[in-house]
Amino acid sequence: MLEVSGLTKRFGGLLAVADVSLRVPEGGIVALVGPNGAGKTTLFAMVSGFIAPDSGSVAFAGEEITGLPPHLICAKGLVRTFQVVQPFGRLSVCENIAVGAHLHLAGRKEALERAREVAEKVGMGPLLDRRAQALTVAGRKRLELARALATAPRLLLLDEVMAGLNPTEMGAMIDVVKAIRDMGVTVFLIEHVMQAVASLAERVYVLNQGRLIADGAPGEIARTPAVIEAYLGHGAAARMVAQAVEASR
Ligand SMILES: Nc1ncnc2c1ncn2[C@@H]1O[C@H](COP(=O)(O)OP(=O)(O)O)[C@@H](O)[C@H]1O
Ligand SMILES: [Mg+2]
Segments of the chain scoring below 50 in pLDDT:
none
Residue type, 217: A
Q: Which atom of ligand 1 is nearest to the CA of 43?
A: 17
pLDDT tens readout for residues 187-237: 999 998 877 888 899 999 999 999 999 999 988 887 787 787 777 665 655
Q: How far, rounded to the nearest angstrom, does the alpha carbon of residue 222 sit from its chain's CA centroid? A: 20
> Distance, CA 159 to ligand 2 centroid (Å)?
7
Does 37 sit in the ligand 1 pocket, CB within 6 Å? Answer: yes
pLDDT tens readout for residues 168-195: 999 999 999 999 999 999 999 999 887 7
Does 41 sit in the ligand 1 pocket, CB within 6 Å? Answer: yes
> Distance, CA 109 to ligand 1 centroid (Å)?
40
Q: Which atom of ligand 1 is nearest to the CA of 17?
A: 14
For the domain made up of 2-248, the CATH class stated in words is alpha beta
End-to-end CA distance of the chain: 48
What are the beta bridge partners of residue 207? 212
The pLDDT score that the predictor gives to residue 229 is 76
Q: Which atom of ligand 1 is nearest to the CA of 38?
A: 22
> Distance, CA 244 to ligand 2 centroid (Å)?
32
Q: pTM of this prediction? A: 0.89
Q: How far, rounded to the nearest angstrom, does the alpha carbon of residue 6 sit from its chain's CA centroid? A: 20
Q: Which of 9, 10, 11, 158 should be mutated for ligand 1, with most atoms under 8 A from CB?
A: 11
Give the ligand with the smallest distance to the CA of 205: 1
Does 147 sit in the ligand 1 pocket, CB within 6 Å? Answer: no
Give the ligand with the smallest distance to the CA of 11: 1
Domain layout of the chain by residue ranges: 2-248
Does 81 sit in the ligand 1 pocket, CB within 6 Å? Answer: no
Greatest Cα pair distance, the chain, in angstroms, is 70
What is the C-alpha separation between 162 and 178, in angstroms, rounded? Answer: 13
The pLDDT score that the predictor gives to residue 139 is 92
Of the candidates 141, 152, 1, the residue with the CA atom closest to the CA atom of residue 85: 141
The pLDDT score that the predictor gives to residue 242 is 66
Helix (H/G/I), strand (E/B), else coil: 70: helix
Does 36 sit in the ligand 1 pocket, CB within 6 Å? Answer: yes
The pLDDT score that the predictor gives to residue 2 is 98
What is the C-alpha separation between 186 and 60, in angstroms, rounded? Answer: 12
| Sheet with 155-159, edge to edge strand ranges | 78-80, 155-159, 186-190, 29-33, 203-208, 211-216
Phi, psi of 3 (to 5 degrees): -135, 115
